[in-house]
Amino acid sequence: MNLMQGTVNGWQLISPRKLAPMLFLAAVALGEALWIHAHPLAFSGTEPVFWTSLILLSISWIYGSSGRSLALSEMSFYAALWIVTALIGAILTYIFATLNLPLLDAQFTRLDQALGFNWLAFYDFVQQHPLLRAVLTLAYFSGLLQVFFSIIYLSHCARNDRNEELWWSSSIALMLTALLSGLLPAAGTLFYHSVGLENAVHLPHFMALREGSLSEFAFGDLRGIVTFPSYHTTIALLLIHAYRQLGLFRWVLALNILMLISTPINGGHYLVDMLGSGIVTVFSIYLTRRVQYFLQR
């Protein structure tokens, strides 16, 4: 789908299905800017995101409007969207963390136990099997690579509808995840059980935001600070959904099942986090279909 769509009085018009994501991100970014302006919170070093996304959008426009490579146009467009979304989403999670509502780790632990999930036993089992731990770690950190591979693969296959669907559902889910993480905060299983704290890289920023002891953050230092709901779980489920009926489905399914298994350990998540993410995922897919229906009218 070309970035540009037709002309009016000699002016090229941007396709509504391309304009809508940019307006969505601009609206969220404006809300964040207004909130940050009124509160002692600052983010520096974000200029590379701006310039990278601008270059990618320019490539998308050049190759799309000229017809030289619609696949490259799609790749560049969605790469730009994902890069900007990652920054905006990360900032949003930091903003909601400042709400400093009571931590729910004890309640989540009790819910896990009621569901029959013993996190400590699972953690100990994985630590006792180094090969399993290594495989799960690789799967856990494959999410970002999977997203960018998907941009390339889906563009190459001319499945622009799937690129659009994956971006919208992931972006909507990220905004919902940020909101819920502020309303239902938790520090995670590593914190609650006091094990593997060297891997709990989110804690310094998470606690500082809650305490108000740190107000300026560099872009390169931003961390994933969300426990409930688990965004890793959401991404795994959405990737599986995006590849349905495609040739690589079985491979994507296998890899993301491993990612789901790794999430409680490598992400320090409760089972409740993952169940909550399942609900977020289903709701995000529903909202995405409504958005796509509206844009097709």
Crossing angle of helices 119-127 and 130-140, in 10° steps, is 110
- Report pLDDT for 105: 98
Q: Which two tokens stand for residue 150?
A: 């998907």
Residue-level pLDDT, tens digit, the chain, 297 residues = 555 554 444 344 678 889 999 999 999 999 999 999 999 899 999 999 999 999 999 999 999 888 888 999 999 999 999 999 999 999 999 999 999 999 999 999 999 999 999 999 999 999 999 999 999 999 999 999 999 999 999 999 999 999 999 999 999 999 999 999 999 999 999 999 999 999 999 999 999 999 999 889 999 999 999 999 999 999 999 999 999 999 999 999 999 999 999 999 999 999 999 999 999 999 999 999 999 999 987
C-alpha to C-alpha distance for 194 and 208, rounded to whole angstroms: 18
Question: What is the value of pTM for the model shown?
Answer: 0.93
Q: What is the pLDDT of residue 2?
A: 54
Which of 279-296 are b and which e, b meaning 16 or more Cβ less than 10 Å from the residue's Cβ?
Answer: ebbeebbeebeebbeebe
Is there a contact between 60 and 76 (Cβ–Cβ < 8 Å)? yes
**Given this model, what pLDDT does residue 282 score?**
98
